[in-house]
Structure 1
């Protein structure tokens, strides 16, 4: 009889418990990956993310075929048809057991419960694993029960439990006779992601270089977008091409007391893995977060402005605030944005423009190659002061001061805003007087827009409105 490994957001061989257990318990193993174009559209999957998914699925298919495991592709419209389709596939291939790693957002949880019920009703065993996280949702909880609503106590407990449990050791998958692999084609409006795509081995090499050569400077340099100081591995975490267990094992080599005893840079990067899991745990515990609702329920009544023109200027990077415009233009060009700049542009949308955070959340998901539903939602609600452990409503980023802090020489700004490429450092963060004096604002080739809001007034308006909402 045959075991079926159902790949989803775990397009890898290494540290994949579903695959390892299937190969350990069954002589014959096959695999399947599904695509749901209509569902992905509803979930605002970016075209560049869909293209990367297809490319990584094909890398996976080739790697599996070399081990004698054939990867099949099932295309459906939505999750609703998944239980029946998988059952029919299992019948066709004499499958006796399904193996998969869990997903945690609400729609995916409901899909998997339906699949489990349907298959077990037809006497096909289902085995579920959590190898896309270091610690599964529900495992890191306060002594009073429930779930953590603040990151700092979550992180402290997360570290303690990780130290107690330790890390799983990598298992070995015994190769069988090689088999054929038919390339997968996904029916979706895709945008070329070839500058990101790589084999699992190449991505692990990139991870190794980062942990060996760069991570020690991560705490100091991570907030400077002009530097190539972050791992840029986030798209591969999102698609599960690398496992957090693989990452943790590399960091463990730097400290015998892991997860404690790391240098500041490595500890800070480990905390980023914990932030990822914090938002996944939270989304699993609070279903309303998957429904477009704020964590702080009273903030759903906030009177957000409706202004399509202002939103369009933000999307296109024409706000008149250089750091905001640089970030939005990077997103448009690359399908990716430096994390610190994500915080700045998000804060500007919700607190300077007073536009609904859900507009920004959706725009990011529709454009980001690493768009993670849980992390993106958590980040936007943090910026909007509507989420758990969010920035206080009275904390409003000044985009000019932020620009001076994170891009002091304007290197990032000049890279993405061509109209400012010749502006001296002294004026780069507030270039309008300089441009006006040189007559540049009259030249259509170098014209740069005036600031679309007065930040001080916008800040006061947001705080006053939010303060009234709290009362």
Structure 2
């Protein structure tokens, strides 16, 4: 490609509208060549070749391709190690600048550092922008200029600082004429990358206004569609966080709170990178002696614990890649507190199964359940699956949907007795934390 171009590198921002980095790219001097790299360093580690998340990304890239075709443009799609892909692009394209959006995970930070160094060594500018959160890095700090580790004061400061500037959409549409005019006929299929289609039904990305208005009243009832199911779209950036916050400000403060939690966990990941290494946020919790019974872990994974609300959640996860947030808390608490199995085992299993898997939120949720995280549930809070069922699924609608065998003679007996499990885990935590 002899024409001098700038490249916009799509990652966790798979949309043309309200995209910060794309906006600045399109306003720059040169025509914009859109790029997506299927990262083999990530994909090759996925053992399940029917991974619905890869299918979702592939589908989203095809959607982008179709939208760009309407603009007489296209998207260049590569498969390989990003650094090697960029070395090849430098040889085959005349690149003026590269634009993209920030990522916050450990692997992504290292990748971007290496790519940036490569590009800069060739005299190519590498520019990144905030796009997947409202506030990042050091934008929300305490009066002492330290990061918040407790959600409530963080959310208060978040709300105080919020103004129209932070939620205003980027008008990318005004500059669509600046996409490079070209046609890409080489679109790799899933099978070419070693993956296969699944029967997963992906949630729509339209915002259900009526649902959001009722969110506060319905969000804890797993048997009904009371949550937005937009998390997978937020995870891969097929919808803009700014547009969601705009809606939340009008429709539901409770839903807004959930979006602030997302920023909070990203903030924790940025300021406390030790959590990326498998360490507890509160390091004294790494002294807990876990039982880590493999058979009991497998029973939990398969939804065969004999506790119907736990089994329902795990079976829903295994079948759909989704689990209701209330049930996520119940299942996580059960694994850690009832079975005394290391929260990292559960974190890894959710990471493998969840469509909306996001390291910061997943790690934050699991450490909350274990008591080892920032602003976590106190270690002595142990969800009782029976009372949780009575409170949130009293008619057993959710349970009967996912555990139709609950009344059968071969449905398993409870894997552990609640009172015994409670005393056992409290003893283990007290020994580790030197509490009397």
| Structure 1 position 196 matched with structure 2 position 198 | no
Match of 2:62 in 1: 58
Aligned residue for 1:25, secondary structure, equals coil
Match of 2:243 in 1: 246
Aligned residue for 2:214, secondary structure, equals helix
Distance apart, 1:273 and its partner CA = 0.8
How many angstroms apart in 2 are the aligned matches of 1:459 and 1:189? 43
How many angstroms apart in 2 are the aligned matches of 1:393 and 1:328? 23
Distance apart, 1:29 and its partner CA = 1.0
How many angstroms apart in 1 are the aligned matches of 2:111 and 2:258? 28
Residues 105-148 of structure 1 show CA distances to partners (whole Å, capped at 9, x for unaligned) of 11111111111111011100111101111112221111112211
How many angstroms apart in 1 are the aligned matches of 2:185 and 2:358? 29
Residues 82, 111 of structure 2: 8 Å contact kept: yes
| Structure 1 position 13 matched with structure 2 position 27 | no
| Structure 1 position 122 matched with structure 2 position 85 | no
Match of 2:99 in 1: 99
Residues 144-176 of structure 1 show CA distances to partners (whole Å, capped at 9, x for unaligned) of 122111111111111112137442233123336
**Equivalent residue in structure 2 for 1:384, among 370, 376, 387:** 370
How many angstroms apart in 2 are the aligned matches of 1:137 and 1:405? 38
Residues 62, 181 of structure 1: 8 Å contact kept: no
Match of 1:267 in 2: 253
Match of 2:34 in 1: 31
Alignment of 1:371-450 (within 5 A): 371-420=357-406, 440-441=408-409, 447-450=410-413
Residues 357, 381 of structure 1: 8 Å contact kept: yes
Residues 32-89 of structure 1 show CA distances to partners (whole Å, capped at 9, x for unaligned) of 111123424547888111111111111112212322332112212xxxx423421431
How many angstroms apart in 1 are the aligned matches of 2:131 and 2:416? 46
Residues 331-350 of structure 1 show CA distances to partners (whole Å, capped at 9, x for unaligned) of 11111111110110000000
| Structure 1 position 68 matched with structure 2 position 65 | no
Distance apart, 1:191 and its partner CA = 5.2
How many angstroms apart in 2 are the aligned matches of 1:277 and 1:353? 31
Residues 52, 193 of structure 1: 8 Å contact kept: no
TM-score (normalised: structure 1)? 0.86
TM-score (normalised: structure 2)? 0.92
Unaligned runs of 5+ in 1: 255-262, 421-434, 442-446
Residues 295-354 of structure 1 show CA distances to partners (whole Å, capped at 9, x for unaligned) of 011111210112110001000000000100000110111111111101100000000000
How many angstroms apart in 1 are the aligned matches of 2:198 and 2:244? 27
Match of 1:451 in 2: 414
Distance apart, 1:182 and its partner CA = 3.7
- Count the aligned residue pairs: 424
Aligned residue for 1:333, secondary structure, equals helix
